Amino acid sequence: MKTVAMVLFPDFLLLDMAGPMEVFSTANRYLQPGDRYQLSLIGTEPGVLRASNGVRVQADMHIDQARGGYDLLLVSGGPGASSERCPPLLEWLPGAVGRSVDYGSICTGAFILGHAGLLDGYRVTTHWDYTERLVRAFPGATVETDRIYVRDRNLITSGGVTAGIDLALAVVARDHGRKVAQDVAKLLLVVMKRQGGQAQFSPLTAPVGARETPVTRVQNHVLEHLDETFGIERMAGLANMSARHFSRVFAREVNMTPMAFLQSARIDRARSLLETSDLPLKTVAYKSGFGSVRHMRFLFSEKLGLTPTQYRQQFS
């Protein structure tokens, strides 16, 4: 019997806990008694813990009582994952991980692992809205920004919220074979493997800064005229700079090249049109500045892992 424990703290995200635990619990229906998962909830405070949505959950034990190891020790995410609030958890985690076979996190639980010194030297991920913060906070880790989940040796981390279900299905497939995991996915009405990664949910375009500069003026002009043709020379001319100087200044201010910004903005414009209108793909491509459906399809597949048609079916 494999043991799986989930660490909870005040203001945790309920679905971060419930999604993976439901996968393991459902898998038990297809497994022999000796192969089933034994599930435990470990709390950072005695008694009932309140999730971020207000639901109260009773943990099986307090961290002071959890002295053994586990086959898989997971840390949930949520608003309360700012772990500086709970030094005892950071003190407890390294020893608990050392006694366990595998460990990991759901969503922003990666920050708790990071503050406990458990991410350095590993490839990891978290919710798309927090990946840049994870990069800055823990430079010793390699953050995969577009992955639904990442397994690196004995560490497995997932993107946000429902990505914990993907993580748990991957664990079940590894432990008991793909057939069991497929049966669980069908019963829960989820897919075994999603098309594309987290990029399909997150905006690709860097936000335009609030302070007006030559670069922000160019950004706003580009966003207002995406159906027009732009190159470095034209954008640099709008900023009254040489092309070389403009490229350096733009990259410094925006953290991406001018052409990467243009391409991302066009993809985001097309995504918005696909989500909110029934316009033909040819019209979407024209209004977004791609020039052709073929070019738009290529970039969608490259950046999002979906074709425009698949994106519309999934998000509209």
- 2-198 folds as Rossmann fold (3.40.50)
Closest to 16 in 3D by CA, of 166, 195, 201: 166
- Residues of the chain scoring pLDDT < 50: none
pLDDT at 300: 87
Q: Which pLDDT tens digit goes with each residue over 46-63? A: 889 999 999 999 999 999
Q: Where are the domains of the chain?
A: 2-198, 214-315
pLDDT at 42: 97
Regarding pTM above 0.75, the answer is: no
- 214-315 folds as Arc Repressor Mutant, subunit A (1.10.10)
Tokens read off for 219: 């950004």
